Every structure is written in C-alpha cells, then in structure tokens.
C-alpha cells in the first residue's frame, strides 16, 4: 500500500462513509458453488453515495504486465490525501476475454479491500475444508475409469463426483489456470458432475502437475 504523507482527513472521511455503507446486493450467481455474490456493479452501487457524500472518490487503473493483470485502486479525498493499493492476478487464459474477466475480478476485490466491504464468494473456504488428494498417477482416466477418447462419460452404472468434490475441482483448477471448459474437454463430459468419482484422485493430480493444461492446449499427447 502507498499513501500520501498525511491520511488524517481521508481516514476520518472513510470512517463516516463506512458507517453509511449498506451491504452490497448479491445479485450474481456462482455456478460452481451454487451461491450468489455481489458483482462489481453492486459494489459500486453500495459505496458511491457514501463516498461522494464524504468528499471521497476513487480511480482504478488496469495494466497487463508479463502475463499478469495489475489493478491499482486509488482512494482520494478532497483534501488531496490519497491511499493506493495494487492487486495482481494471472488470467486463466491470456486472450481478450480472459484478461477482461480478470480485470473485472481484480477491480471488484481491490475495491472491496479498499473501502472495507467483505467478499461474499470466498473460494478459500472450499479449499481449506477439503482434504488434500493422495497423489498417484497423472495419466488421464481411460475407458476403465468411465471415459473414452471420443464419447462422454456414461450416465448410468458409474458413481459420479459430489457437489463438494466439484467445488474442490474448481478451486484446484482455478489455482492452476485451468477453466471449467478445460476440465470438461479433458474428461470428455458435458457437465462436471458427470465425472466418475473414481477418476477424482487422478484428475486432481493431472491438474496439479500441469497435465490437463498441456493436454487441452495441444502441448502434450493425451493417453487414451
């Protein structure tokens, strides 16, 4: 964090603004956790009047540096005092859509952190609650695990992963730069809940060691 030499005025103004801030409305869906969260627009709606009513404003600047998105959030006061915070994130895909989504995500969290509105979709809860996987083989599950090289996983006679396991997959995949579509392509399924439960350990290992990412990007041969 960086700041002006004095923050006496901006600190007092932010204190008043925070007392006036209501909770941001959870009006967006998180399909992985089956939950709702407050998006960037809701965060802005919750803070714009309390901030402006106390002489506060903010600016957010985004840069794309060495494959990372860096968003700077600057909180400013009419006295000339200011506070700056930076948040760096790596997009899951380094294309316009991936970078744009990452900027929005970083802006939301940067703004929440700056003004003190809590996050509603803490992926860390799912990660900390789940036990670490036992590392076995990073080879992609074959037909013996309920998948084939061309067809989706069978929908009958095979025990599928649970919602809790799907959440764990999402958390591990996100950390490794793997998207939901990458997982579905790798496993040849239409939905994550179609993944056979017995393939879970191998899939987690394949995510962790980069096998999934290499396979879907064509950098590696996929064993069938």
Looking at the predicted structure, is the pLDDT value of residue 19 above 90?
Answer: no
Q: Mean pLDDT lowest for which of 11-20, 52-61, 70-79, 198-207?
A: 198-207
The SS3 of residue 147 is: coil
Shared domain for 100 and 152, answered yes or no, is: no
What CATH number did the domain enclosing 26 receive?
3.30.160
Classify residue 31 by its DSSP letter.
Answer: T
Q: What is the mean pLDDT of residues 117-143?
A: 44
- The total domain count for the chain is 2
Residues 27 and 134 reside in one and the same domain: no
* Per-residue pLDDT at 132 exceeds 80: no
**Judgement on whether residues 87 and 176 belong to the same structural domain of the protein:** no
Lowest mean pLDDT among 46-50, 104-108, 129-133: 129-133
Q: Per-residue pLDDT averaged across 77-89, rounded?
A: 94
2-6, 156-160, 206-210, 217-221: the lowest-pLDDT one: 217-221
pLDDT at 26: 52
Residue at a domain's end among 120, 143, 158? 120
Question: Which of these three, 120, 141, 161, is where a domain ends?
Answer: 120
pLDDT of residue 145: 37
Same domain? For 155 and 100 the reply is no
Question: Does the residue 135 lie in any domain?
Answer: yes
The answer to whether residue 223 sits within a structural domain is: no
If asked whether residues 184 and 131 sit together in one domain, one would say yes
Q: From 120, 152, 174, give the residue that closes a domain.
A: 120
- pLDDT per residue as tens digits for the range 182-208: 888 888 888 888 888 888 888 888 888
Domain range for 150 is 124-216
Domain check: are 13 and 104 in the same one? yes
Of 36-40, 62-66, 100-104, 203-207, the range with the lowest mean pLDDT is 36-40
**Where do the DSSP E strands lie in 38-175?**
56-65, 68-77, 82-89
Q: Pick the closest to residue 127 from 165, 155, 179, 168 (CA basis).
A: 168
Q: pLDDT grade, residue 125 (50/70/90)?
A: very low
Is position 32 within any domain?
A: yes
- pLDDT confidence of 146, banded at 50, 70, 90? very low
Q: 194 and 91: one domain?
A: no
Same domain, 88 and 133: no
| CA 163 to each of CA 36, 124, 125, 133: distance values in angstroms, whole numbers, following the listed order | 16, 16, 14, 16
Of residues 91 and 11, which shows the higher confidence score? Answer: 11
3-state percent helix, strand, coil for the chain, nearest multiple of 5: 45, 15, 40
Query: Mean per-residue pLDDT for 4-21?
Result: 93
* Per-residue confidence (pLDDT) for residue 38, from 0 to 100: 59
């Amino acid at each position: 964090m960086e700041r002006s030499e004095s923050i006496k005025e901006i600190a007092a103004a932010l204190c008043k603004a925070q007392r006036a801030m209501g909770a941001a409305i959870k009006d967006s869906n998180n399909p992985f956790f089956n939950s709702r969260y407050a998006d960037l627009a809701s965060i802005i709606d919750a803070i714009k009047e309390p901030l402006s009513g106390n002489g506060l404003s903010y600016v957010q600047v985004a840069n794309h540096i060495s494959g990372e998105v860096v968003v700077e959030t600057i909180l400013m006061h009419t006295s000339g005092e200011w506070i700056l915070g930076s948040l760096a994130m790596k997009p899951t895909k380094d294309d316009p859509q991936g970078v744009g989504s990452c900027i929005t995500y970083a802006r939301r969290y940067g703004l929440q952190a700056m003004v003190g509105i809590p996050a509603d979709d803490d992926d860390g809860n799912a990660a900390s609650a789940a036990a670490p996987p036992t590392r076995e083989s990073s080879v992609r599950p074959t037909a013996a695990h309920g998948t084939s090289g061309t067809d989706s996983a069978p929908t009958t006679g095979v025990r599928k992963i649970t919602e809790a396991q799907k959440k764990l997959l999402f958390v591990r995949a996100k950390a490794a730069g793997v998207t939901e579509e990458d997982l579905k392509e790798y496993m040849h399924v239409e939905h994550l809940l179609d993944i056979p439960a017995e393939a879970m350990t191998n899939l987690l290992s394949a995510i962790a060691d980069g096998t999934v990412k290499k396979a879907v990007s064509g950098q590696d041969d996929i064993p069938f």
